Structure 1
Amino acid sequence: MKRILLSVFAVLFIGMTFTSCATLFGKKSHPLALSSEPDGAEVYVNGFKMGVTPVELNLKADKSYTIEFRKNGFDSVTRVVNTKVGAGWVVLDVLGGVIPVVIDAATGNWNKLDQDAVNAALVQQKEIAGTK
């Protein structure tokens, strides 16, 4: 009886150790390459200046981001980067049982960004007659 009980606890311990694949093995942040034509545009992520193009940022995939490219003499360009569920993590979690699905869904660790790169083609502003 003691051996059976020990075996059950060992199986449960191993099962709990390897659950929630995305939480245990997934990336906590995801690289996003940002570029513009022409280079040198200021990059704002959700309203905060994060650099000048070209730049690579590491962002968490727990929310969507509004990316704005600004450069003097050019119209600003706004892009949105959303999250999506990584199907591979879901399959692995489902194979592992209910607990991994609940943990990864609640933490959002199976999410990833829907793009790896964003490029903005900036359009030069037109001069208004009589201004320089």
Structure 2
Amino acid sequence: MKKILIFLTAILILGSMSSCATLFGKKTHALAVSSEPAGAEVYVNGFKMGVTPIELNLKADKSYTIEYRKEGFDSVTRVVNTKVGAGWVVLDVLGGLVPIIVDAATGSWNKLDQDAVNAALIKQTNE
């Protein structure tokens, strides 16, 4: 009887702690930021991060505003939102209700929208 109780307790603990994205997902995600022409200053949420092309490591549970600035060109602003990684959702559904709740609450199954980080800068006109 004691062994069965220990076994059931262990399964309950492991089952309640398992959520695929939280356990195995990355905490930050690489975001390749580029511009045409290259050499634009990159500001993320108002903070200068470097010059294009650049790879940024950002948390995937937040949205970001990326601004591109280059002398002689109009500045460009892009918003990078999060997306839910479908693979994590499928694995969590197979694991039961607890993994879904944990990954949804922690945002661990989110990823950043890579499509929103490329900018074509337009030359300023002197009128």
Q: TM-score, normalised by structure 1?
A: 0.88
Distance across 2 between alignment mates of 1:117 and 1:80: 7
**Corresponding position of 2:8:** 8
| 1:61-76 mapped onto 2 (5 Å cutoff) | 61-76=60-75
Q: Which one-letter code corresponds to 2:2 in the other structure? A: K
**Corresponding position of 2:23:** 24
**Corresponding position of 1:87:** 86
Change in Cα spacing, 1:117 to 1:57, as seen in structure 2 (3 Å) is: farther
Distance across 1 between alignment mates of 2:22 and 2:5: 29
Alignment deviations for residues 9-48 of structure 1 (CA, whole Å, 9 cap, x no partner): 232244345x111111001011111111111100011111
Number of positions where the alignment pairs a residue of Structure 1 with one of Structure 2: 127
**Of the two, which has the highest radius of gyration?**
1
- What 5-or-longer segments of structure 2 have no aligned partner? none
Q: RMSD of the alignment, in Å?
A: 1.5
**Contact 1:44–1:68, Cα closer than 8 Å, also in 2:** yes
Residue 42 (str. 1) matches residue 41 (str. 2):
yes
**Contact 1:32–1:117, Cα closer than 8 Å, also in 2:** no
**Corresponding position of 1:107:** 106
**Contact 2:30–2:56, Cα closer than 8 Å, also in 1:** yes
Distance across 1 between alignment mates of 2:108 and 2:124: 42
Distance across 1 between alignment mates of 2:23 and 2:88: 11
- What 5-or-longer segments of structure 1 have no aligned partner? none
Distance across 1 between alignment mates of 2:22 and 2:8: 24
Distance across 2 between alignment mates of 1:116 and 1:126: 28
Alignment deviations for residues 84-110 of structure 1 (CA, whole Å, 9 cap, x no partner): 111111111111111111111111111
**Contact 2:19–2:100, Cα closer than 8 Å, also in 1:** yes
Secondary structure at 2:60 match in 1: coil
Q: TM-score, normalised by structure 2?
A: 0.91
**Contact 1:31–1:116, Cα closer than 8 Å, also in 2:** no
Distance across 2 between alignment mates of 1:30 and 1:3: 43
Secondary structure at 2:78 match in 1: strand
